[in-house]
Amino acid sequence: MTNTDASGIAPRGERALGDDRVGLTAANEVELAVTLAASSGLDVATRADRGRWLRAIADGVEAHRDELVALAAEETHLSAARLNGEVTRTATQLRFFADVVDEGSYLEATIDSPDPSLVPPRPELRRMLRPLGVVAVFAASNFPFAFSVLGGDTASALAAGCPVVVKAHPGHPRLSRRITEIARSALSSAGGPVGALQLVEGMEQGTELVAHPRVTAVGFTGSTRGGRALFDLANGRPAPIPFYGELGSINPVVVTRAAVATPAEVAGVAAGLAGSFTRDGGQYCTKPGLVFVPEGAGFEAALVDALGAAAPQRLLTDGIAAAFDRGSGALAERDDAEVVFAGERAADIAAPVVVATTAGAFVAAHETFLEECFGPLTVLVRYGSDEQLAAALDVLEGSLTASIQHAPGEDVAALADRLVRVAGRLVFNGWPTGVAIAWGQHHGGGWPATTASVHTSVGATAIRRWLTPATWQDAPAAVLPPELADGNPLGVPRREDGALVVPSSSVERRVE
């Protein structure tokens, strides 16, 4: 008889992951995964334990760094240097959410004392956020660590107390299985609920997962078409659930005329763009895919010079490479566009492509120019006046980022106000590729960048997606969560009768 832990899963070394699913139908495989996740007990674990388990997983990932990087390089064609950095980011992200859980303000704990003199009378009310339940996470292709099995969606959901069933991406299946084994082994060694992390594979399993009645929310990173299909499925259930999808983003950049007033400034901005849109084959959701440049500044020539050393790169999958060929080819063949640069490429390797058009042509055919082309391509839109630029910006859709390249001291307040209406993050004199893990980060935007622009998939508030509020009215002390107990025994930030109370190591501080 195989020894199992409380979740019904044998510790690593006694049974290979997934042995009990051999021969199962997609529906039965998902049923097993969801049942094991739901019965894991993660939702009733203490915040201290959840933080400790997240740190144990981070340690486990870093301990297997070399093995994981080699495996990821084989499956994704990304460089070892890039993948090493991504392992570090993934471990950092897990520890970051452990800190978020320990700090406790994410709970939004609130207490209102009873007041019978009010009309209507106010009872005692105690409110906080609690975990939703089992969360489904769809792994991304372009970040095999940081947005995959143990990416931000999984880390924030586990931190919230929600067990996770991950739908592996077919672009790196062996890596997905191995990192799941490592994470589950780390959980087991730390005394954590191994069943809280499950993995399924296959398209049919993905749709079954979204439709499963015990799945309470979905995190997705991928294509607009695939995300929209799953979004519709989540909303079409008898009991609809939230679907947090990160889909397509064009990430517009505005280069002001003052920013490129000298040849040196033109060369500097062009070099920055070249490095950003070709980074790792342009396979970033934050790639600057649309750049508004002033006519006559010589920007195109400078960009061509900057791209001279850009090397072709094999893309993540054959499907992505084929889609890039179709998308870049269709733009290059348009009568209202011209190819500024097209690098030499081999059969299975993509080279940078730059296409240019006018502001008027962009406005007239913006639906086409705003379609994301995943890979090393960017579109330049030439504008001759502020009015032309404004008209072009008026047709922009939702995006994860927007950037402004401007001169020191230049007044870009009106431009920033216009762009913040369509983008979740504004970048000034920088480039959007690279998303820092921080309390103040927002990685989201309006459709089609995401399905829920008020939420982020990176940063501390990513945890909010997996939580729901509950209020205890005139509740006996014995039924209250410890975070709402009298005396604040766990020391979490709370709002008490309207005042924010922030405990510190030595003194409790009230903020009126």
Query: Tens of pLDDT along 141-171?
Result: 999 999 999 999 999 999 999 999 999 999 9
ω into 131 cis (within 30 of 0): no
Which band of pLDDT confidence, cut at 50, 70 and 90, is reported for residue 3?
very low
pLDDT at 309 over 80: no
- Within 10 Å of residue 248's Cβ, how many Cβ atoms? 25
Q: Return the pLDDT at 330.
A: 94
Question: Is the model more confident about 388 or about 510?
Answer: 388
Q: Which residues are catalytically annotated? A: 246, 285
Locate all alpha helices (DSSP H) within 298-408, ordered by sequence: 299-306, 318-332, 359-364, 366-369, 386-393
CA angle 338, 344, 345 (to 5 degrees): 115
Task: Give the whole-angstrom CA distance, residue 153 versus residue 159.
Answer: 10
Q: What is the pLDDT, as a whole number, of residue 219?
A: 97
418: Cβ contacts below 8 Å, ≥ 6 apart: 390, 393
Average pLDDT over residues 335-343: 94
Instruction: Please indicate whether residue 453 or residue 374 has the higher confidence score (pLDDT).
Output: 374
The Cα 85–Cα 303 span in angstroms is: 28
Residue 230 near residue 211, CB atoms below 8 Å: no
What value does the mean pLDDT take over residues 203-228?
96
The chain-wide mean pLDDT, for the chain, equals 92
Is 0.85 topped by the overall pTM?
A: yes
User: Residue 326 has what pLDDT?
Assistant: 93
Backbone angles phi, psi at 451, to 5 degrees: -95, -10
